[in-house]
Amino acid sequence: MMIKKLLFAPLFLLYANTFAQSIQATKIDSLLNTLHHKEMFNGNVLVAKGGKVIYRGSRGMANVATGESLNPETIFELASVSKAFTAMAVVLLEKRGKLAYDDLMSKYIPELSDYGNINIKHLLLHTSGLPDYMDLFIENWDKSHFVTNETIVTEFVKYKPVVHFKPGERFEYSNTGYALLALIIERVAKESFVTFLKNNIFDPLGMLNTSVYRSRYAPRVLKNYAVGYVTDSLGNKVAADSLGKGHYYYYLDGVVGDGMVNSTLDDLFKWDRALYTEQLVNTADKALIFQSGVTATGEKTDYGFGWEIGESKKYGRLIYHSGGWAGYETYIGRQIDHDATIIVLQNNSTFLTYTPKSEIRKIICDEPLHDPILKSLKLTDDMFAQYIGNYFEPNIPLNLNFFKKGDLLMLQADGQHALPLDAYEDHTFRYDPANIQLTFDLKAGIINYKQGKSNFQFMKKKR
């Protein structure tokens, strides 16, 4: 009997764990359905625990013009999530004795010797003080030509933009540092950044659908590729390239290092798994990569080598990065104490776009998503009629307009985009991404509007 009990216990735990993960996957699926229905999500998601994928799915269109839908193998531009690969390339070169973290930037880019004591580690940690190159090019560049990493150097030499602070003095996120790191990698390795990442990171890890790809600067045929969509000046969703060659999305497409890695859910999961091993670097290297930088005054920056660093009592150590560029919004988050991974890739960057990383993290940690006191509701036509109308606050020059769109109540403030609201009992509505809660007092004709710690009362306009 004892033997049977001992055999049954682990079997029971296995089934219980599988059942729990199935429930979590269903909740994630429901969450994405809701967000997609409200035009807040268009992309791919992968969630894993203990090295096992518990959710992998897609919502929406990869290419509106061709009618191609997203699928889990679709390739997305990663934007700043690319920075972790640039940092890893630097670490690999340091391990091979090709450079040192304390080496001055000017050792490899002597054209920038006027920028003094900035070293490679300063570039990695965003403590160099260098201003972001994007502002310089938006103001001064001939937009009919592409910008490359080399031209960033020539323009810095030409215009000599002033540093914002002394190296190491404080943290300031700047794409310039990672663009210059890519150039250093090329000069040290004596091969292109594109080739170095392919030969030393992507191919060794079996990331066969990952590459450094510049769709405008160096176009090539790339199958199953997600087109990036943005909101134009009229509030319409359009392909990023439709903004024209004079838009910075287009002419900055030649720059690598701070972005331009393109990948898939499965390849990023391979990357995640490799970071738990010594396949690329050893334990000491990883400790350095995932360690927060420190300023000259001893203040932690919460940024390591290409990764943001967080600490939570609930979730343990969080190693993560997000990205946003040319219609793409991306995120990879790793709870390394609990071996949980969340990857979110979107090819829409509109006013409504939302990355549900916090909600997914709550789901896989079995936390409630919303206040359990209020139950969600599906509105009927009669119920909609109670809420539709215009509201004002005498001391605020802002009107709120409520209208029906499909099966959703929408909120639109003067001069702003419309927001889809979640309906709950007791005449309560929410827009969680902006922490907005509205409660209608139908008899009094007022709305109690709460956003964060702010509270207002709006009155219904009489017809």
CA torsion, ordered 202, 206, 210, 212, to nearest 10 deg: 20
pLDDT of residue 19: 53
Read off the tokens for 390: 């215009």
pLDDT of residue 299: 96
Tell me: the pLDDT tens digits for 215-248? Answer: 999 999 999 999 999 999 888 999 999 999 999 9
* Residue 110 pLDDT exceeds 70: yes
SS3 content of the chain, % helix, strand, coil (to 5): 35, 25, 40
Tell me: the pLDDT tens digits for 3-24? Answer: 444 444 444 333 445 556 788 9
Question: At a CB cut-off of 8 Å and minimum separation 6, what does 306 contact?
Answer: 83, 84, 85, 86, 87, 88, 124, 178, 289, 321
CA 86 to chain centre: 17
Beta bridge partners of 57: 45
**Phi, psi dihedrals of residue 373, rounded to the nearest 5°:** -70, -35
Catalytic residue among 22, 58, 69, 80: 80
Tell me: the pLDDT tens digits for 191-208? Answer: 999 999 999 999 999 999
What is the rounded average pLDDT of the residues 120-125?
98
10 exposure class (CB count in 10 Å sphere: 0-12, 13-18, 19+): exposed
* Other beta carbons less than 10 A from residue 328's beta carbon: 26
Is the separation of the CB atoms in 279 and 204 below 8 Å? yes
61-63/52-59 β-pairing: unpaired
Domains of the chain listed by start with CATH number? 77-364 (3.40.710.10), 381-460 (2.40.128.50)
3-state secondary structure of 421: strand
Question: At a CB cut-off of 8 Å and minimum separation 6, what does 379 contact?
Answer: 407, 409, 423
**In this prediction, what percent of the chain has a pLDDT beyond 90?**
83
Active site residue 128: no
Is the separation of the CB atoms in 295 and 170 below 8 Å? yes
Is the separation of the CB atoms in 314 and 365 below 8 Å? yes
348-349/229-231 β-pairing: parallel
Question: At a CB cut-off of 8 Å and minimum separation 6, what does 103 contact?
Answer: 119, 120
Cα dihedral 276, 277, 279, 282 sign: positive
Tell me: the pLDDT tens digits for 140-175? Answer: 999 999 999 999 999 999 999 999 999 999 999 999
Tell me: the pLDDT tens digits for 279-309? Answer: 999 999 999 999 999 999 999 999 999 999 9
Beta bridge partners of 419: 411
Angle at 174 between CA 169 and CA 176, to 5 degrees: 110
Q: How far apart are CA 114 and CA 136, in angstroms?
A: 18
